[in-house]
Amino acid sequence: MRPYELIKAKRDGQVLAPADIRAFMDDFTRGVVPEYQMAAMCMAVFFRGMNADELGAWTQAMLESGDVLDLSDTPGTKVDKHSTGGVGDKVSLSLAPLAAACGVPVPMISGRGLGHTGGTLDKLESIPGFRVDLSVDDYRRLVREVGACLIGQTATLAPADKKLYALRDVTATVDCIPLIASSIMSKKLAEGIDALVLDVKVGSGAFMKKLEDARTLATTMIGIGRAMGKQVVALLTDMSQPLGRTVGNALEVMEAVDMLKGCAPADYTECTYALTGQMLVLGGKAKDAAEARALMEDAVKSGRALKKFEEIVTAQGGNPKALHDYALLPQADRTVQVPATHDGFVTGIDAEALGLAAMALGAGREKASDFVDHAVGFVLHKKVGDSVKVGEALLTAHVNDEDRLEDVVRRVQRAYQTGPTAAAKVPLVLETLR
Ligand code: URA
């Protein structure tokens, strides 16, 4: 079928043949199908959805639009983790060395922060010298020799997704579950993985605000992975408040190192253990979550997990001394305590609003070309369930640009909700899906 006929068929709710989808996507990647036709197709998919066969063909066509890396020279089951993104989500920084220290090779291609969510690459680049722009050959070598490598998206991995995402961004077709699932999975499957753990975040700081949407996204991605012969497990995890106590690049690196030293906040520690534990099971290093937990705790207690992070940092050009002397990480000019305006208990923290406040400080970008200030961000003193008095510090802001401070203080105070009674605790792992 011609592009016009395909768009019309999808618009009218018909099922498209895999070969037609493949040809349409290939022609879009080569510039033969113009952007306006792909935009119309995405809008038709937004309203009509895709069945499993269509979605499989759509994802495979995006995956095969570029290189699919071969890591077969690294022995063992290669397992990565993908998070749909949140505020204070620094799990990749602790998970990759922890999994590698327990014997699971971790090939990880990560993204940058945009809007209210942070990105692993920005966090890593706050370590002096750390390089995320390694060649594919170096990436392959470091996965084999060190056990983990964390780099940025290359131009040759799933180029159809890059082009398509930019188009969806300006045509109101980003928030469409089949398009999100195929976008994420095409990039992850191109990395050379055997298995994948998904962290689908749910709540005010997440892409998916509702549990049922998160569940649908997770099962859609699991279905795509399974159809391509990969093992995929998804955890739905709480993002109704920031994870851990830090938001901002260098501050999050410090907390990640604390995790590997066994002294990070409980929610972040649990999230790392839950996700890494699934990787150990998928990677054949543990028979179940309990056995995985014992292995991980031993890796932390013995110092092996932190040592693995030092090895990764050194191999990627960074200064490993910064993991022991935090003064070597970027530091803001000053710190400011943001006081509470009400007595009571913290009943909620609007994580998206807090993420946007961190972005306003300079910790994140509004548009892809913005500069990121690695030093700035927040250290939270109050989280949901804590009691608070007027004037007490909700958090400490690490600030470089005084002009932004007044607006940021207002945003933080608005993001915190207080009430007369403590809110019930929300479990961190809401569901496990396979
Ligand atoms: N992240 C992605 O990689 N793709 C999407 O479509 C949405 C979030």
CA of 116 to the centre of ligand 1 (A): 14
CA 329/CA 318 separation, integer angstroms: 11
Ligand 1 pocket, residue 59 CB under 6 Å: no
According to the model, what pLDDT value does residue 368 have?
76
Nearest-CA residue for ligand 1 atom 6 is 180
Ligand 1 pocket, residue 184 CB under 6 Å: yes
Nearest-CA residue for ligand 1 atom 3 is 184
pLDDT above 80 for 115: no
The mean pLDDT of 168-174, rounded to a whole number, is: 89
According to the model, what pLDDT value does residue 271 have?
97
According to the model, what pLDDT value does residue 352 have?
93
Look up the pTM and report it. Answer: 0.94
Mean pLDDT taken over the chain = 95
Q: What separation in angstroms does the CA of 162 have from each of 20, 376, 385, 412, 418?
A: 21, 29, 41, 34, 42
Nearest-CA residue for ligand 1 atom 1 is 184
At which residue do the structure tokens 């510039």 appear?
A: 31
Q: Which atom number of ligand 1 is nearest to the Cα of residue 168?
A: 6
Q: Dihedrals φ, ψ of 49, to 5°?
A: 70, -175
Could you give all domains of the chain from N- to C-terminal order, each with its CATH number?
Answer: 3-49 (1.20.970.10), 79-323 (3.40.1030.10), 330-419 (3.90.1170.30)
Is 369 catalytic? The answer is no
Please write the tens of the pLDDT for every residue from 235-269: 999 999 999 999 999 999 999 999 999 999 999 99
pLDDT band at 175 (very low <50, low <70, confident <90, very high): confident
**How many residues can be counted in the chain?**
434
Q: Are 331 and 141 in contact (CB under 8 A)?
A: no
According to the model, what pLDDT value does residue 1 have?
87
pLDDT above 80 for 319: yes
According to the model, what pLDDT value does residue 178 have?
96
Please write the tens of the pLDDT for every residue from 181-214: 999 999 999 998 999 999 999 998 898 999 999 9
